[in-house]
Each structure stands twice: as C-alpha cells, then as structure tokens.
Amino acid sequence: MGALLNVVERNVHEVRVEDERLMFHVPSSSLFAADELTAAIIDSLRANTCTAEELFDRLGASSRGAVSETLSELMALEVVSDGSPLTPEFATRRIERTAINTVVLNVNTGCNLSCTYCYKEDLDTPSAGRRMDVETAKASVEMLLKESPDELRYTVVFFGGEPLSNRKLIEHVVEYCELRFRALGKQVDFVMTTNATLLTEEIIDWLDSHRFGLSISIDGPRKIHDLNRRTVGGSGTYDVVRRKVEMLLKRYRSRPVGARVTLTSGVTDIEGIWDHLFNELGFAEVGFAPVTSGQLDTFNLGPNELADVFANMKALGRRYLTEALENRNIGFSNLHQLITDLHEGHKKSLPCGAGLKMLAVDHKGDLNLCHRFTGSTLPTFGNVRDGVAQEQLNDFLSQRLDRSGTGCDSCRIRNLCSGGCYHESYARYGDPAHPTYHYCELMRDWIDFGIEVYSRIIAGNPAFIDNYITPRKAH
C-alpha cells in the first residue's frame, strides 16, 4: 500500500476572488490560480487523506496522466506531501555574516519640535542636542566600506532629532561620500527624514542636486497634525510645515517625495488624511505608521481603533484598485509596497534589514540595531572605530531567525511579516525577538486583501505593474 498523501496546510493559503480560487504558496510568497484539477486534488485530500492510487480512482481513471502530472507539481511545491520531511524554507538556521550596505547617522539628538508621541529615547531639546562630529561620521562611512567591501551600491541615511539642525555635518558627509565612493567605482544614495520646518530654497536646491530621497513627517490636515506635532513651546506646527512642503514640492525634481503619517489614538481617518496629503498638498506617496507600542499608553491605538485603521486602509485600498485599473497610481505606499512584495515574490527570513543590511550610528559612534534603538537599553553591536561586534549581532539575529515555538512557525504570512518590527516588540514586550502578536489577525487579513487587489490588477490591467511596480527597483 502506498504512502498516504495530505495537504501541507502551513504551505498553502487559499484566497477567493469572486469565482476564482487563488493559492498563495507560503514558502515562496508566490500566487497562482488553482485550475479545476488542482482544486479537485486539494479538496479531495482535505476531505480524506489517501494514497496516490486511491486519488486516481477518486478523480477518474481516464484522467490518470493529468492527475499524476498535477500531483507531482503540487508535491514539488510541498503543497501535498507523502509524509517525507519537508525542505527547510531557509537554508541557513544561523546568521554567520551580515552585509551592511546602509548606515543611519543620528546626526543630532536635538529637535526643534517636541512631538508628544516621539519614540526617540535619546531625544533632546535644541539647546541640549548632542551632535555627531565629522570624524565619527567619516568613520561610519569607512566602517561601511570595511565591513562590506563588495557591495556596488550603498545608502547613507541622515536622522535625528531633526537632521537639518546639523546641516553643516550633512554637507560635509555628502561631499566626502561622493568623492570616496566615486573613487572606488561605487554608487551612494542619500536619504533623509525631516520635519520640514528648517527647509529653505537654498537647502531644497542643494538636496535636489544630490538626489536625496526625502520623507516628510506630517500627520494630515491642521486639526490632526497639530494634535501631537508641536513646538517646544507647545504651539502647533501645521502652518509652517505646509508652507515649507509647498515650497519643497514646487522646487524638488530629482526624486518623488513621500509623506510619513503617524497614527495615534483617536486618529483613524486614513482616506481623509491621504486625500489632504496626496491631492491637496501633492506628495507622491503617503505611508501610515500606526502606534501600538509607544512609551505612553495614551497615544497607542486601542484594539478597536486598530481594527478601524485596517478597515479604513482597506477602504483606501479599494480606491487604489479602482485607479490602478485605469492605470493611475494614487501613492498609497502601504498597499503599493505589499503589491510589490507579492509581485516580486519577496520572502523574508527576518522582519527588516536592521542588523542584516543596516545599522544606526549614534552621536558617540556606537552601532545600534536601527535608528529607533539609539539611546535605548538594548546593547549596541560595536562602534564605528572598532567595527561590528559580529558574534553578538549574529546571536541576536539568529534568535529571531528561529521560529520554533512561536506562532510564526506555521503562520501563512510568516515570510512577509517575519514576526514584525523589532522595536515594537521591544517597546511592548520588553524583548525585540518577541513576535508582535497583538495585530497578527489584522495583518493576515490585510495581506489577504493585498492578494485580492494584486490578482485583480493582474487580470484587469497588468500594464499598471509595468508602469508603477517594476520601476521601483530603479530608485
């Protein structure tokens, strides 16, 4: 008697779009439409496990060749198994070496604003700001090259506080990098997140000439923005930020400029915020970051509010789909990134590039897992002068890589979510390796929604992918 066949449920997830059955192959993050025979095999084995011979009998002897071929394909994908050990999804079970190609320079702990929800644990008032010096910044660049000499493209990110409050350092670093990387035949990109308040025409033109990737922190129209984004004296900042943003978007030409929105308790109007920032102000993309694990509970979105946020994101997502079918991109970056991940079959063993591709340098030159951890109690991983503490970093990453005993082990979105943000886990659970269980179901539903949107775009207007998804690789 042959081995019993069964569906490997952890490896396949079904999403129905009207009458079409879509199969999301979890190990490869790929999507395929289930034809009639594929669906019949899966349904039959779900109803009752059986041998291959019994399956042939169930589905009709006359179709034996077709059943055999489809069954072989499903077994190769490990959607169906005969009980043989499954192939590990990731060849490595331990990180032995990282390839750092991005460094985040925390150029000043000081900020000219006093946003009430700020997660920065090393944040200072403008007068007390601890600035990174030139030698530390240059050592950061040299550390990047020493640790990963074989990369062709590198990224230097300027962060704060408010990074433009240490403008002279930024200018010095950009000049140094352009000469240094050009001499090595390598490329370097510059990125900055700013509150926009210190922008001038001169600064904008300089940033434009060096093709900075810019992200502006702005939370929406005046009533929403001024809830939390205030000056040190407590005044709202919307009017000055809007004025500077309008000047920026009028002059900036080298790259699209995005808006980053922080969603706190009481703020769930996704469509209204997007409409203001995309249609009225003219940002190219708008991304939303819900606060669920901030230091002060008063700013955290409660369970019902978080559910409202995801429901409202789906409402904007339906608008995204309608426009995409007409070959227009409305710049909803949360969904746009998910569509990109699905189209390219992204498969993540870890939640992000923190520690793996990127490290953040604080004003002293210590290496932090990411910019959110500067000033925290999480141990650092070396410094720019002595290099990366590779063994400690490898131990940390390998701990998160091991999914055994966690809900991530069999979760259908395990290779898209990978347990969630390290800092969110650290803030909520006191452990950066702890999965972010508090919104797992919402994330699973969101990704199912993304699969549906992606499938409808592919069926209704595949040119949208060519025009708006594939070109993202170039940036």
Question: Does the pLDDT at position 255 exceed 80?
Answer: yes
Residue 358 Cα to chain centre, angstroms: 13
Does a structural domain hold residue 89?
no
Is the same domain home to 234 and 377?
yes
Does a structural domain hold residue 162?
yes
Is the same domain home to 474 and 423?
yes
185 DSSP assignment: T
Lowest mean pLDDT across 61-70, 153-162, 284-293: 61-70
> Which three-class secondary structure state does DSSP give residue 449?
helix
Alpha helix (H) ranges present in 347-403? 390-401
Domain boundary among 18, 47, 81: 81
Does a structural domain hold residue 431?
yes
Domains identified in the chain, total number? 2
Does a structural domain hold residue 12?
yes
Does a structural domain hold residue 50?
yes
199 neighbors 217 (Cβ within 8 angstroms): no
Question: Does the pLDDT at position 474 exceed 70?
Answer: no
Is the same domain home to 74 and 100?
no
pLDDT at residue number 88: 85
Does a structural domain hold residue 247?
yes
Burial class (CB in 10 A: 0-12, 13-18, 19+), 47: exposed
Is the same domain home to 183 and 330?
yes
The Cα 368–Cα 159 span in angstroms is 13
pLDDT at residue number 116: 79
Q: For residue 360, give every residue at least 6 positions away whose Cβ sits within 8 Å of its Cβ, in sequence order, or none.
A: 103, 104, 105, 106, 159, 367, 368, 369, 370, 371, 373, 374
Residues 178-187, mean pLDDT to the nearest whole number: 97
User: Parallel, antiparallel, or unpaired: how do β-strands 102-108 and 12-17 relate?
Assistant: unpaired
Most confident of 108-112, 258-262, 370-374: 258-262
User: Parallel, antiparallel, or unpaired: how do β-strands 367-368 and 358-361 relate?
Assistant: antiparallel
The domain of 215 spans 96-475
Is the same domain home to 444 and 353?
yes
Residues 190-207, mean pLDDT to the nearest whole number: 97
224 neighbors 267 (Cβ within 8 angstroms): yes
pLDDT at residue number 171: 98
2 neighbors 53 (Cβ within 8 angstroms): yes
Strand partners, 383: 366, 387
Question: Does the pLDDT at position 475 exceed 60?
Answer: no
Taking the CA atoms of residue 457, residue 459, residue 461 and residue 462 in that order, the dihedral angle to the nearest 10 degrees is 90
pLDDT in tens, 454-464: 999 999 999 99
411 DSSP assignment: -
Is the same domain home to 132 and 59?
no
18: left (phi over 0), alpha (psi -120 to 50) or beta: left
For the chain, helix, strand, coil in percent to 5 are: 50, 15, 35
Is the same domain home to 109 and 44?
no
Is the same domain home to 54 and 169?
no
Alpha helix (H) ranges present in 84-221? 134-147, 167-183, 201-209
Q: How confident is the model at residue 292 (pLDDT cuts 50, 70, 90)?
A: confident
Query: For a pLDDT cut of 90, what percent of the chain falls above it?
Result: 77
Residues 265-285, mean pLDDT to the nearest whole number: 97
Lowest mean pLDDT across 16-20, 162-166, 192-196, 305-309: 16-20
Residues 167-174, mean pLDDT to the nearest whole number: 97
pLDDT in tens, 208-230: 999 999 999 999 999 999 999 99
Does a structural domain hold residue 87?
no
Question: Does the pLDDT at position 311 exceed 70?
Answer: yes
The Cα 318–Cα 311 span in angstroms is 11
Residue 353 Cα to chain centre, angstroms: 9
Domain boundary among 50, 81, 112: 81
The Cα 263–Cα 22 span in angstroms is 33
Helix (H) or strand (E) holding 425: helix 422-429
Is the same domain home to 202 and 72?
no
Q: How confident is the model at residue 127 (pLDDT cuts 50, 70, 90)?
A: low
Is the same domain home to 27 and 104?
no
Cα distance between the two ends of the chain = 57
Question: Does the pLDDT at position 174 exceed 80?
Answer: yes
Angle at 181 between CA 178 and CA 187, to 5 degrees: 90
Question: Does the pLDDT at position 473 exceed 60?
Answer: no
Identity (one letter) of the amino acid at 96?
A: E
Is the same domain home to 167 and 20?
no
Does a structural domain hold residue 33?
yes
pLDDT at residue number 471: 64
Is the same domain home to 323 and 201?
yes
pLDDT in tens, 354-386: 999 999 999 999 999 999 999 889 999 999 999
Domain boundary among 81, 104, 136: 81
Write down the pTM of the prediction.
0.92
Residue 311 Cα to chain centre, angstroms: 19
* CATH number of 189's domain: 3.20.20.70
pLDDT in tens, 378-428: 999 999 999 999 999 999 999 888 888 889 989 999 999 999 999 989 988
Residues 331-343, mean pLDDT to the nearest whole number: 96
pLDDT in tens, 82-108: 999 998 877 667 888 889 999 999 999
The Cα 329–Cα 321 span in angstroms is 9
Question: Does the pLDDT at position 273 exceed 90?
Answer: yes
